[in-house]
Chain A
Amino acid sequence: MSVPILKQGDILIASIQSALSDRDLVELRDELADRVGRLRSRGVVIDVTALDVLDSFATRTIRGIAYTAKLRGADTVVVGIQPEVAFAMVQLGLSLEGIDTALDLEEGLALLHAGKAERARRK
């Protein structure tokens, strides 16, 4: 089950469609790291709306995606964490510290665009 990655301007959108195995997640990580460089992307959105479980491995891999993208010059926003999933993550003791999150795709894109505007202003 591979994850479709859409390109919208300088933003990549990874839209997870169904439950992912550990291997699928690792493939997504590698694919995104590659495309960020190839397509000169400045932002990555990972849409996890369809995921019913975010366990320790998934959380660690998503963190890895965000940190890798950052080192490649792109910001990451994780969108669509379901309320029950968020609750389970907290109970499990997991967090996405240092990683931006937003309620849905629209807000995630707005966050990335706002970050870009902020950087442009500082130049």
Chain B
Amino acid sequence: MLAESSVAIVREADIVIARQKGRELAAAIGFSSTDQTLLATAISEVARNIISYAGHGEVVLSGIEEGGRRGIMVVARDQGPGIADPELAMRDGYSTGNSLGVGLPGARRLVDEFNLASALGAGTTVTLKKWLR
């Protein structure tokens, strides 16, 4: 672990804080300006999901190293109601809320690795990784 910081997601203004912190960390690790933007946008989507569906949670940002490559890991975690059908939630255009339904599937396209772990009543954890090219 190179660096780790956690941003509590309680109010919608925290979405902006989380993506700004993510961008700062990505810049410090050496990501290009384009990759910083892609990552910040992905963080914005997963953080908004916390507000929209769980009410509150946290976003943990870490610098990571694996097999000689460096990257950034974003873990968005909540103790909300969970997602009944994670596969459906990953489908473009699907939304149970009042949204475009691009959040999770869109965020997946902005990063290199994406993992969604959720179960009804057990909260949701979305893990994103992006590697330095």
Contacts and interface: CB of A to CB of B under 8 A. Distances in A.
A84 B110 CA distance: 12
B6 interface: no
A94 B42 CA distance: 13
A20 B19 CA distance: 12
B100 A53 contact: no
Contacts of A93: 92, 102, 105-106, 109
Interface residues of B, number: 27
A53 B41 contact: yes
A23 to B, nearest CB: 6
Given A52-B37, A53-B19, A93-B105, A88 B110 contact: yes
Contacts of A87: 34, 37-38
A91 B111 CA distance: 10
B133 to A, nearest CB: 15
B41 A57 contact: no
B7 to A, nearest CB: 14
A92 B109 contact: yes
A56 B100 contact: yes
B12 interface: yes
Contact of A84 (B20, B37, B105): B37
8 contacts: A22-B12, A56-B106, A57-B99, A87-B37, A88-B37, A89-B41, A93-B102, A93-B109
Interface of B: 12-13, 15-16, 19-20, 23, 33-34, 36-38, 40-41, 44-45, 48, 92, 99-100, 102-103, 105-107, 109-110
